[in-house]
Amino acid sequence: MYSFSCILKYAVLLFCFLPPTVHAHNTGQSRKIILKGESITMQEAIQIIEANSTYTFFFKSGMLSETEKKDYNLEGDIHEILKGVFTGSGITYVIKNNEIILKGTAKQTPQQSKQKERKTEIVGVVADADTGEGIIGASVQLKGTSTGTITDLDGQFKIMASPSDAIVISFIGYISQEIKIGSHKLFSIELHEDSKQLDEVVITAYGTGQKKASMVGSVESIKPSELQIPSTNLSTAFAGRLAGVVAVQRSGQPGADGANFWIRGVSTMNGVTNPLIILDGVQVSSSDLNNLDPEIIDNFSILKDATATAMYGTRGANGVMIVTTKSGMNLDKPIINFRMEAQMSQPTSTPRFVNGATYMELFNEAVNNDNSGDVLYSEEKIAGTRAGLNPYIYPNVNWYDELFTNHAFNEKFNFNIRGGGKRVNYFSSISVNHESGMLKNRSRDFFSYSNNINIMRYNFQNNINAELSKTSKLSLRLNVQLRDMTSPNQGVGAIFTNAMDTSPVEFPVYFPDDGSTPYVKWGSTERINADYQTNPVAQAATGYNKGFQSTVIAALEFNQKLNFITKGLSFKALASFKNWSSSNNMRSGHWNKFSLTGYEEDGNGGYNYMTSRIGDEYQTNLSASNSTSGNRRFYIEGMLNYSRTFDKHDVNAMIIYNQDELVNNVPGNGNFIGSLPQRKQGLAARASYTYAGKYLAEVNVGYNGSENFAKGHRFGFFPSVALGYNISEEPYFKPLKNIVSKLKLRGSWGLVGNDQINGSRFIYMSQIDLNGIGYTTGINQNVTYNGPVYQRYANENITWEVGEKLNFGVDLQLFRSLDLTFDIFRENRRDIFQQKQTIPTYMGTASTKVYGNLAAMRNQGFELAANYNKKINKEWFVSFKGTFTYAHNKITKYDEAPKYPWQSKIGVSANTNGIYVSDGLFIDAQDIAHHPQQLGMIISPGDIKYINISKDWYGYEDNLTDTDDWVWSKYPVIPEIVYGFGPSIKWKNLDFSFFFQGVSRTSFILNNFHPFGDNMLRNVLSWVADERWSPDNQDTNATYPRLSRKTNSNNNKNSSYWERNGAFLKLKNAEIGYTYKHMRLYISGSNLLTFAPFKLWDPEQGGGNGLSYPTQRVFNIGFQMTINNK
């Protein structure tokens, strides 16, 4: 698979490294010679002639200029060639046989004369002509040289120059100025805005830059500074800031608090739905993205429509995120930047439980509601617990408070340096992040180790760019991510669950040490479970896990201009390697369980407690187990690019070959499929044309191969076409320029492919389990043997999932300060991979899966982005950012055999819950008697009443059943609307900003929180106690139905009774800062306020019981210093 591509790659590279040459024909002085090349010195021209002819040159040392360079395009005999090389240089020549003798001295160029002048330090400041504010990062360069610098945080610069020099000052979006030095040593320079240059360059497919004015695809970019929010995860900054990105953060757990995100929502119900992420040309995971420090990011773009993503073919079906890191610069002295932040985080909400006395009263109420005959808690125990008597006799444990604190502290550091010279430049960054969890360190109270969540993350970025020649460049980009993590042996989710599932009154955390045992006597009980009741503190404190992860991402890129073939032609080769590895050392142990059997006074005002062991006795030593995992990715890419302007015609074209291989480092014992490398190949091409900056056209194609399909179906062809019209460039539009500065219409159509089907490989093959089913035989049918069974039937016709994307967009700028972008999009995804549902079970396929390209789905919506930037005067600057995204999908084809039309998936959005429709609570026995039998259960007053959906289908009132009477929820779990808005204000050295973010058209289901339970004594959340139906509060609209001692299946069903509106509006971020010269001090926060109809916990966490690691409210103080030693 590699042989042909490798040969092709090396052949192209060899060709690119060939120097400009002299071609000779015939012999003697009349022999025809051709000399072609760009930026060649006289000495280099002589060397080329000597190497490709029989002539030898003789000349004095220092005669030839080593700096003056020319372009040559000469053809003729030796006399004509030498005349073309030396005319006007002051050098003459004599030819004797095969010897050429040079005489005279090359004339000095003005640049060489300047070098003899004495240079002095020039100091200046570059400011905005309208506001007088210093411009940071403006380029100040000596004209005609590579010597230069950039302005610092105050717009100031220093540079060494001679009186005859001139400096050129430039900055993106401003008109450049050229100023002669003369006798001046101090300069105050003002730059004026240039609307023609304000058009930003956006990174598009395969890292190519494209001016926004000439783009016809739907591409969104964000400033790296907008990603610098008080968070340890980059993805939490996406929501509301990038139009087209739907993002939600479901957890605040350190190391697992990244957001889930989708580009333009969800377009498939199968396989991978997340976008492709590219870092410096290398495909990376969302966790790799989250670990990046915003300080290293130079450009962040998302590609949304088919024109923008088609070149990625199979990899770009769900959109593409492209991140490029910073490069070095040609500077006299390097720029050094340091940032330090300290954070305090606290949960946005914490669950509240009832106290022990209330718990027992509610338990007794539940027993009476059920008439179950369970033993009730005595009034004496309730009174003793309420009075706060002896905690070992009358326990009253808030397990949540025993396990969790209400804050955690984190720190972040970044140091980076940027610089270089004419030939080589560099950017290097080191980041250190420390995160701690909100678990109380209970293991320290009892043992010698700590098992709170503690994460140290180290991120190293090193980028080097080398100019091998005027036409050849080599770049090396290296990113190293290290993560060292300590956590409880038990999963954090299980710790939250145990806090909920344990009674507050059955036992204390532990019993006093009476010297009878060498270990902790942990409290427990056998009252409910025949084994024991979990002690959440003991479970959490016993054991720990030490994990280490490393990721190395390296990319080597070579760029070669091929102007000697034709002007505008260039070649790029990229080779990258990524290795991820993970190791875990888990230390686990047992805890000894005891229950109280009696007590007696000890005569000193205290008590002696009699306890009995529950279960076996365990030693306190910990056992160890280890696990490792990892993978590595190899990727190569070759690109031939052509870019040329002919008068008013801009022509661009490129063709790309790429090849990708992913190998599992630890394939697993006996996992043959996992041991095989995953490989992909592809070709991509693009051609674009622009006339006079007004009429735009672009065609893209991707041709990709995937191992996931059988021969004949492995390769897919994915074209796209786009057109654009820059109306504001028309002459007739000039009178409106002061009002409508820019107006562009664009549209695109294209196909994209997806080969990620069902998370499986080689899905077209059959799959057989050799011991998957028991066959019973014998005279009395009493002998059973395990034998083979098909788990999946082969289907060699399985092929690509194809998305047809259509996009129409408008780019508008008003009053040169308000930029608006509006896009309408639609995607029809067909041939979605699905298990066949319409094969009857008597065909013998009940336990065997049959798959095919059977389903289809439509995803459509619109998005709006607004950006306002206005410099009021020299002291005030105001900006505003707003985005709105609406993405709604529905299934248009599905292989199913629904019994009732209201249960068909066709027309339903993906990620939507099936629910029963509630009609409140039953009032009394009479109400129950007049209602159809419900789910085959015994119903009591205070239980949830469901609407009989199927009665209209049958035409009469039937029994309400599990299969007949559920419907689909109105809104999906993933929000269909995401929006964000907020201003940024700067006054003198003070700056202030805040940003709101919200979602709408989403819902979730509450579950797994019902009190008590069958084999446990689950705790009671306060809101359940406060808002329940009871004999004293027979409200049919109560928030919680009647309490039940046992699990009440009727009340636990997913239904509209438990469905909640997931919409919210958050003050996502706020920041205030002060800048003084090279330093900035700032205070910021995230998740500061939440406005939502749902109040129990942060609705962004989604459904369930709220007992998971909550999202965090973060308060941050930071300090940044930039040093430019000019």
- Note the pLDDT tens digit of each residue in 325-348: 999 987 777 889 999 999 999 999
Sequential DSSP letters for 806-833: EEEEEEEEETTTEEEEEEEEEEEEEEEE
CA neighbor of 551 nearest in space, from 947, 261, 827, 285: 285
Sorted by sequence, the CB contacts under 8 Å of residue 1006 that are 6+ apart come out as: 1058, 1060, 1103, 1104, 1105
User: Which CA distances in Å does 1087 have to 347, 1067, 1090, 1098, 1114?
Assistant: 10, 6, 7, 10, 7
> Could you tell me how far CA 26 lies from the centroid of its own chain?
64
Which pLDDT band, with edges at 50, 70 and 90, does 872 fall under? confident
Distances 869 to 129, 203, 406, 526, 1092 between C-alpha atoms, Å: 16, 22, 40, 68, 31
Select from 585, 578, 562 the least CA-distant residue to 489. 585
CA distance 90 to 683: 53
Sign of CA dihedral 699, 312, 552, 577: negative
Residue 817 CB neighbour total at 10 angstroms: 14
How far apart are alpha carbons 23 and 418 in whole angstroms?
44
pLDDT value, residue 1043: 94
Token pair, residue 314, equals 């199979």
Q: In angstroms, what is the C-alpha Rg of the chain?
A: 36
The pLDDT assigned to 174 comes to 82
Q: Which of 1054, 1040, 1045, 1048 is nearest to 962 (CA)?
A: 1054
Q: Measure the CA–CA gap between 1105 and 1008, rounded to whole angstroms.
A: 6
Spell out the domain ranges in the chain: 3-107, 119-191
For the segment 672-689, what is each residue's pLDDT rounded down to a tens digit?
A: 777 888 888 899 999 999
The yes or no reply on domain 3-107 and CATH 3.40.366.10 is: no
User: Between these two residues, 51 and 160, which has the higher pLDDT value?
Assistant: 160
Cα 1065 from Cα 1069, distance rounded (Å): 12
| Residue 114: DSSP 8-state | H
Q: 776, exposed or middle or buried, with CB in 10 Å at 0-12, 13-18, 19+?
A: exposed
| pLDDT greater than 50 at residue 5 | no
CA distances from 935 to 334, 930, 955, 963 (A): 74, 15, 19, 9
CA 9 to chain centre: 32
CA nearest to 1074, candidates 1038, 1024, 1119: 1119
pLDDT of residue 11: 36
Q: What are the b/e assignments for 370-405, b being 16+ CB within 10 Å?
A: beeebeebeeebbebbbeeeeebebbbbebbeebbe
Report residue 532's pLDDT band, with 50, 70 and 90 as the boundaries: low
Q: Which of 239, 234, 240, 217 is nearest to 277 (CA)?
A: 234
Which residue's structure tokens are 């199927």? 950
The secondary structure element, H or E, covering residue 84 is: helix 78-86
Q: What type of residue sits at position 159?
A: I
Phi-psi region of 563 (alpha: psi -120 to 50; beta: other; left: phi over 0): alpha
372 to each of 164, 166, 260, 369, 436, how far by Cα in Å?
102, 96, 45, 8, 46
Per-residue pLDDT, 928: 92
For 226, phi then psi, to 5°, come to -75, -15
Report the alpha-carbon distance of residue 722 to residue 745 in Å, rounded.
Answer: 11
Which is nearest to 975 in space by CA: 1091, 864, 888? Answer: 888
Q: What is the pLDDT of residue 77?
A: 82
CA dihedral over 956, 957, 959, 962, signed as positive or negative:
positive
Angle between helices 78-86 and 42-51 (to 10 degrees): 160
When pLDDT is cut at 50, 70 and 90, the band that residue 562 belongs to is very high
The pLDDT of residue 1: 41
| pLDDT band at residue 9 using 50, 70 and 90 as cut-offs | very low
Provide mean pLDDT across the span 563-589.
94
Distance CA 151, CA 134 (A): 9
Range name among 536-545, 657-666, 669-678, 919-928 with the lowest pLDDT average: 669-678
Write the CA distances from 906 to 342, 828, 834, integer angstroms: 51, 14, 14
Q: How far apart are CA 693 and CA 856, in angstroms?
A: 39
At 1102 the pLDDT is 93
Q: For strands 245-248 and 70-76, give the pairing.
A: unpaired
The mean of the pLDDT values for the chain is 86
**Tell me, what's the pLDDT at 744?**
95
792, 798 Cβ separation under 8 angstroms: no
Q: Decide if pLDDT at 536 tops 90.
A: yes
CA 514 to chain centroid = 54
Structure tokens at 585: 């050392």
The tens digit of pLDDT for each residue in 218-270 reads 888 888 878 777 777 788 888 889 999 999 999 999 988 889 999 999 999 87
Read off φ and ψ for residue 383, nearest 5 degrees.
-65, -40
For residues 284 and 837, the model is more confident at: 284
Q: Output 1029 or 48, whichever has higher pLDDT.
A: 1029
Confidence band (pLDDT; 50, 70, 90) for 81? confident
Tell me the CA distances in angstroms from 723 to 167, 218, 653, one per residue in order: 41, 12, 16
Question: Span 266-290, mean pLDDT?
Answer: 88
In terms of C-beta density within 10 A (0-12 exposed, 13-18 middle, 19 or more buried), how is residue 409 classed?
exposed
**Quick one: which H or E segment has residue 855?**
strand 851-871
- Residue 733 has phi, psi (to 5 degrees) of -90, -10
Q: Say which residue, 26 or 34, is predicted with more confidence.
A: 34
Q: Which amino acid is at 697?
A: A
- Residue 493 CB neighbours (<10 A): 14
Question: Greater confidence, 1126 or 725?
Answer: 725
CB 1069 within 8 A of CB 229: yes
Q: CA-CA distance, 49 to 71, in Å (whole number)? A: 15
Smallest CA-to-CA distance from 595 within 579, 578, 615 is with 615
How far, CA to CA in Å, does 1009 sit from each of 402, 975, 1024, 1108? 19, 24, 9, 12
Question: What is the distance between the alpha carbons of residues 58 and 102, in angstroms, rounded to a whole number?
Answer: 6
| Nearest Cα to Cα of residue 1011 among 1019, 1023, 1022, 1003 | 1019
Q: Which residues of 724-754 are buried (b: 16+ CB within 10 A; e: fewer)?
A: bbbbbbeeeeeeeeeeebbbbbbbbbbbbbb
- In whole angstroms, give the CA distance from residue 1005 to residue 802: 32
What is the topology classification, in CATH, of domain 119-191? Immunoglobulin-like (2.60.40)
CA distance 1113 to 1089: 9
